[in-house]
Chain A
Amino acid sequence: MVVWDTLRVALLLMTTAWLAWGAAQAVLGLRGLAPLSMPPARPGGPSPTAILIPICNEDPWAVRARIEAMRASVADAGIAPDFVILSDTAGTQDVTREQAVFAPLFARDGRAVVYYRNRKDRHGRKAGNVEDFIRRSGRAYVHVVILDADSLMDGRTIAHLIARMDADPSLGLLQTLPVIVGAQSIFGRAMQFAASFHSAVFSRGLARLQGDTGPFWGHNAIVRVEALSRCCGLPELQGLPPFGGTILSHDYVEAALLARGGWRVEMDPRIGGSYEEGPENLLAFARRDRRWCQGNLQHMRLLAAPGLKGWSRFVFAQGIASYLVALAWGAFLVVSFLSAQTVVGPDYFPEPRQLFPVFPDDRTHEIVALAVGIVGLLLLPKLAILIEATASGRAGAHGGWARSALSVLAETLLTALIAPVMLMYQTRAVLQVLSGQDGGWPATARGEGRLTLAEAWQAASWVTLSGIAMAVLTFWMAPDLVLWLLPVALPMIAAPLLIAVTSRPGAGGIFTVPEEIAPPPVVAAYRTLAMQTTPLRAVTDDELARPV
């Protein structure tokens, strides 16, 4: 018994410590930051800056529409950075197609210049793609704004980023907090709402904690070319993937290397006008999570890297723990189940010739206190953020207090339903990586949305079967635990249904975000341009399909 209890306490300590860390960040972020001010303009105008858009087999029409929207926006902001499409697209037909689609962007008509290059040696993936650009053209620019294929940034935001970098020569990297836009499905809109409503507070907490050793999230950030070139030439790690080879989650490593090189790395959540898109269904989310899992666990190799700042090592450890904690929750369930098998009944008369029985201690209060503590760590930050949003007026931009409260409640319930399914996917991902399976870094499938029940079943039947096995085994061997296990087992059993239903468009009355009520100009411009190109898609594809 003592062994099981010790194990359970250790596992609970790990999992609750993780929850407490998240809650602490929320508490630290409740108080707003000082208002943002625009630094004075640099004499002679903003420094030469390139906006890098690394792509790899993306939808070229969507990329073109985003660039056109941002090009108009930077012109409105009075700056003229160069746009550089860094293509790692493979396959002759895809490359020909994207070059045909991008061709109108290259005309020199007085607007910001757009460059394009396609790399045949795709060494180092995205980090290698950017590195290749720096090696060829880095000296021509003072700063680079690194975007993702689905990123959008307002021209005034880009102007602000350049001005901040110009005003502070010690600033190596300035990361914005990208807001998720364009979600349509129930799942996507719930995640979009959570990111908009909660992340504002969590990121303020993070900004207070990190100081000059902030994060880099790989995109929607500006980097000083001098700092990038001196500090961020990433080596291949010794050995084979998943732990050796190319560094996958390169952004965390680049932030750590910049800090090691003495540059300030800052994340400023006050900077608006920075957007990205998110996964539209749970399977796409889990696929992205599998990549991040491998990338973060690879950081185990870098925890002792020479010269890193303490906070950088802590960030690596935190990224690793975020995946190991899934394993700890799973292990806690298994240990609790095994522990129930070894329980012996109470001995009311432990001494011979004992007159009165000895009743075992009633530990109900302790168990309830533990459950309330864990639920509190999960729910209290959300409640505090709801109060903060109401007091600060943020709730108004999310459809008002009542709608915000309803959205928080719905998002919490949905998260509780999804959590056991994600726990299974994360546990599988961690076990795959630890057993040496390389998941690679496949191109992100963007825009995929609605899933049929058959597709969801095909991808998640193993979760259902695991849930059924868990429920049957518990009912058979430890029936007292069945009720406790149902909140975990039922969502697992219903996983395909949950995945299919939440991939559908919906939840219109809730999950409102400010960008839905009033689309930002650059987002609205992108949508208009994307709609205008819809009829052109078929024409170009037909032309390309014609035999030569």
Chain B
Amino acid sequence: MDDRVTELSGAAQGPSPLPQAPLDMPRQMLERRRRPWLASLLAHLTIKSA
């Protein structure tokens, strides 16, 4: 059992932790990554000249 949490259940028949059924929860993007305008311009020019 994870020692960062304390789980209790089923006191009558011994401890019964929460169901172990992990599910991923990806972090959502809410803010656009700010790209410095100069870096953005250089990237644009580099692509054009390539």
Interface residue? B12 (CB, 8 A): yes
A-chain residues with CB within 8 Å of residue B7 when the two chains form the complex? 115-117
* In-complex Cβ contact of B31 among A95, A141, A225, A237 (8 A): A237
Residue-wise, chain B 17-30 has the 8 Å CB interface mask toward A (1 for contact) of: 11111111111111
A120 vs B6: C-alpha distance in the bound complex, in angstroms?
A: 8
Interface stretch (choices A62-70, A131-139, A184-192)? A131-139
Interface size on A, residues (CB 8 A): 47
Q: Is A84 an interface residue (CB 8 A)?
A: yes
Say yes or no: is A304 at the interface (Cβ < 8 Å to chain B): yes
Q: B35 CB to closest chain A CB, in angstroms?
A: 14
Q: Please tell me if the beta carbons of A121 and B8 are within 8 angstroms of each other in the complex.
A: no
Q: Which of the residues B8, B30, B31 comes within 8 Å of A116, measured between beta carbons?
A: B8
Interface size on B, residues (CB 8 A): 28
Per-position contact with B for A164-177: 1 when CB-CB < 8 Å, else 0? 00000000000000
Q: In the complex, what residue of chain A is closest to B1 when comparing beta carbons?
A: A117
Contact B25 A131 (CB under 8 A): yes
Chain A residues within an 8 Å CB radius of B9: 106, 113-116
Q: Across the two chains, which residue of chain A brings its CB closest to B25? A: A233
CA A325 to CA B22, docked complex, whole Å: 44
Tell me the smallest distance from the CB of B26 to a CB of chain A, in Å.
5
Contact between chains at B10 and A106 (CB < 8 Å): yes
- Say if the beta carbon of B46 comes within 8 Å of chain A: no
- The verdict on A365 contacting chain B, using a C-beta distance below 8 Å, is no
A335 touches B (CB below 8 Å): no
Cα A238 to Cα B26 in complex, Å, equals 17
Q: Is B28 a contact of A233 with CB atoms below 8 Å?
A: yes
B48 within 8 A of A: no
Question: B28 touching A103 by the CB < 8 A rule?
Answer: no
Contact among B5, B17, B19, B25 with A232 in the assembled complex (CB-CB below 8 Å):
B25
User: Would you mind naming 21 contact pairs between A and B with Cβ atoms under 8 Å apart?
Assistant: A103-B8, A106-B10, A107-B10, A114-B9, A115-B7, A115-B16, A115-B17, A118-B5, A136-B2, A136-B22, A137-B18, A137-B20, A137-B22, A138-B25, A139-B23, A229-B25, A232-B25, A235-B30, A237-B30, A305-B30, A306-B32
Chain B interfacial positions (CB closer than 8 Å to A) = 2, 4-13, 16-32
Instruction: Give the 7 A-B residue pairs with the shortest CB-CB distance, closest first.
Output: A138-B23, A139-B21, A140-B19, A140-B21, A233-B25, A106-B11, A107-B12
